[in-house]
Structure 1
Amino acid sequence: MDRRTVGHYLPSTAKESFCAALDAISVTTELVEEELKPHLDTLLTAAVERKRGLSEQVVESGILPVLAQALRRKSSLTVHTARLVAELAREAPVRDSCFETGIISALLTLLLSEDQDLLLHVSRAIGRICHDSSLQQERLLRLGVVPRLVSVLLQHSENEALLSSCLLALCNLADLGEQDDSKFVWEKSGHFDEGEQVFHGTSQHSFGFVSAVTMVRLNQWSQGQYSVSVETLQRCSTLFWGAQNGRQTGWRLPSFTHWGCCPKFYKVIKYSVKNIPKNRSLKTAVFHTFL
């Protein structure tokens, strides 16, 4: 794609700044932090606004390997770069290029950080990269992302934004999530067995008529060994279904006499470093997690 494509959707001054930022980042990896930050700011602004054509241009510019290298440097710009990657990862062209360009491996390394702001952007990036992509989900599972996410979740469960981001990333790895964690409200359930933690997430759709309910369950089997299960149900109101039934011709939807929940799909994820047989049921996929 010609760089003029993005400029077609940007004012002339913004277009010039955008192209200058891409050029400056792509030509060298030796820019000092003071020189690199304004260019990252320019791209971040465009990414947050989700300018049309931006993701394709970013991929073709060749800056993703540079961003991966910037993440590995662990400098004062690491958090800034991670936030940019998380915003860029909303778009499919960028997500599809994250593995080959080294972005994923850099993000996994950063999951070992103690910086909660950095962890927030990293977990968001991971959740978005694997959203609705079985290929990226499989790659991340093989690279051991689940134990690292669970470790972050357990260590920083008091940080609501980080907790939500990690839970959504786990859901997306099970192919049962959303791209954006802002759609979910999570609550921790009580009164469960010792060693078990359960989180319920709800998201509203269709003007409140339909809500998805997602449950993430952590079970500790022994010291450092956990299972992670993810289940999603679809809850529907009688008003919604009644209106739909009244409009349908030729076929009928199930009728409900009161508010209820109907299973939509079910999946369990557990990751293991051992060769534990996997359940091949159509409803579940099983892994073990070792921290």
Structure 2
Amino acid sequence: MYRYIHSHRDKHGSSRLQPYTPNDSLNNALGTIRVLGLELIEDELKPHLNTVLTDIKERKKGAAEQVVISGILPILALSLRSRGPLTLLTAKLVAELAKESVVRKGFGDAGLVTALLSVLTSTDQELLLHITRAISRMSYDSSKQQELLLHRGAVPRLVAILLRYPDKEALEDVCLQTLCNLSGMGVAEEVGIIWERGASVRPGESVFHGVCPHTCGFTSSVTLMHVCQWAPGQYTVNIEVFQRCCSSFWNLHRTKQTACWFPFSSLGSCLNLYKVIKFSTKNIPRTQSLKSHVFHTFL
């Protein structure tokens, strides 16, 4: 199979298309997974899943497109649902595939969204880490995926994990990041948010705040999340974002006035200022943007 992807001029000045030859080992692996996938035989499929995982992690040219063309996404969904010996490896692969926009667009039609959500009830912490990371990546910049995940009950499952493993820092961080992404206020994974637990003032409440430094050095983004249990198995997640400015930045803009900026000293020095963005889903029409949501979750 060849795809012509670019052209160049030969010595006579004419343009010639250059063939793109897919990775043969990847093609063989994808073909084997497609043929044997429904049987989910670990010994036969594991090396081929590893081949695909390696090529995707290394971001080899054309690998993501080959995965889409191969049609293996429904097989990956089946592997996740089976909860068999291949589930963890499949979760790692799906988490890597979720980085590729060309692949994650097909997650819904392939049944991967519901498959991922079904695995969130697992007690395997490593598996939960990869599944949650996949959900975080697929919902980062897609309002369509955010809406689908919200309607399918992603938030209550994530809250349950967040509260079940309070001493697992990596799992806690990825759950918090995913909740932010589902609300439409996510930060790119490579930028990173440093999360800490805050002091709660009400029974049944968990408070988290994360700081995401900006490269310009003048401001940083602070995310404040409240998870409140107001009835058995029922929670409210409230997310607020503040823009914190250093005093030198504020001095440069001291002549500008806006009602949206005010001191919020519990997160730092009173010289720092914050911009508040509030989220609420109570009685919101279905057509309203997801970027103004607080989650009222029901387990």
Shorter chain as denominator, the TM-score bin is: 0.7 to 0.9
Picking from 123, 131, 134, the partner of 1:114 is 123
The two structures have a TM-score, normalised by structure 1, of 0.82
For residues 170 and 4 of structure 2, the distance between their equivalents in structure 1, rounded to whole angstroms, comes to 37
Partner in structure 1 of residue 266 of structure 2: none
Partner in structure 1 of residue 284 of structure 2: 278
**Paired AA for residue 98 in structure 1:** F
For residues 235 and 144 of structure 1, the distance between their equivalents in structure 2, rounded to whole angstroms, comes to 33
- Equivalent positions of 1:13-32 (< 5 A) are 15-29=23-37, 30=39, 32=41
Partner in structure 1 of residue 11 of structure 2: none
Residues 60 and 197 (structure 1 numbering): CA distance in 2 closer, same or farther, change over 3 Å?
A: same
**Paired AA for residue 41 in structure 1:** N
- Equivalent positions of 1:1-291 (< 5 A) are 15-29=23-37, 30=39, 32-180=41-189, 183-206=192-215, 208-239=217-248, 259-263=271-275, 265-268=277-280, 277-278=283-284, 284-291=292-299
**Displacement after TM superposition at 1:237 (Å):** 2.6
Residues 254 and 194 (structure 1 numbering): CA distance in 2 closer, same or farther, change over 3 Å?
A: same
Residues 186 and 54 (structure 1 numbering): CA distance in 2 closer, same or farther, change over 3 Å?
A: same
Q: Do 1:278 and 1:287's aligned partners in 2 also have CA atoms closer than 8 Å? A: no
For residues 202 and 140 of structure 2, the distance between their equivalents in structure 1, rounded to whole angstroms, comes to 31
Q: Do 2:197 and 2:208's aligned partners in 1 also have CA atoms closer than 8 Å? A: yes
Q: Do 1:164 and 1:181's aligned partners in 2 also have CA atoms closer than 8 Å? A: no
For residues 238 and 190 of structure 2, the distance between their equivalents in structure 1, rounded to whole angstroms, comes to 18
**Paired AA for residue 267 in structure 1:** F
For residues 85 and 2 of structure 1, the distance between their equivalents in structure 2, rounded to whole angstroms, comes to 26
Q: Do 2:240 and 2:276's aligned partners in 1 also have CA atoms closer than 8 Å? A: no
**CA displacement, residues 153-195 of structure 1 (integer Å, 9 cap, x when unaligned):** 1111211111111111111110011242771211000142111
**Displacement after TM superposition at 1:202 (Å):** 1.3
For residues 79 and 22 of structure 1, the distance between their equivalents in structure 2, rounded to whole angstroms, comes to 18
**Paired AA for residue 156 in structure 2:** P
| Structure 1 alignment gaps of length 5 or more | 246-251, 270-275
**Paired AA for residue 165 in structure 2:** H
**Paired AA for residue 222 in structure 1:** A
For residues 247 and 100 of structure 2, the distance between their equivalents in structure 1, rounded to whole angstroms, comes to 36
What percent of counterpart residues are identical? 46
For residues 2 and 218 of structure 1, the distance between their equivalents in structure 2, rounded to whole angstroms, comes to 52
Larger radius of gyration: 2
Q: Do 1:227 and 1:288's aligned partners in 2 also have CA atoms closer than 8 Å? A: yes
Residues 203 and 31 (structure 1 numbering): CA distance in 2 closer, same or farther, change over 3 Å?
A: same
The two structures have a TM-score, normalised by structure 2, of 0.80
Count of matched residue pairs: 273
**CA displacement, residues 35-68 of structure 1 (integer Å, 9 cap, x when unaligned):** 2111111121222222343222211210111111
For residues 163 and 242 of structure 2, the distance between their equivalents in structure 1, rounded to whole angstroms, comes to 25
**Paired AA for residue 178 in structure 1:** V
Residues 200 and 136 (structure 1 numbering): CA distance in 2 closer, same or farther, change over 3 Å?
A: same
For residues 2 and 163 of structure 1, the distance between their equivalents in structure 2, rounded to whole angstroms, comes to 45
Cα RMSD after superposing both structures: 3.1
For residues 132 and 31 of structure 1, the distance between their equivalents in structure 2, rounded to whole angstroms, comes to 32
Partner in structure 2 of residue 249 of structure 1: none
**Displacement after TM superposition at 1:22 (Å):** 1.5
Q: Do 2:34 and 2:72's aligned partners in 1 also have CA atoms closer than 8 Å? A: yes
For residues 57 and 279 of structure 1, the distance between their equivalents in structure 2, rounded to whole angstroms, comes to 40
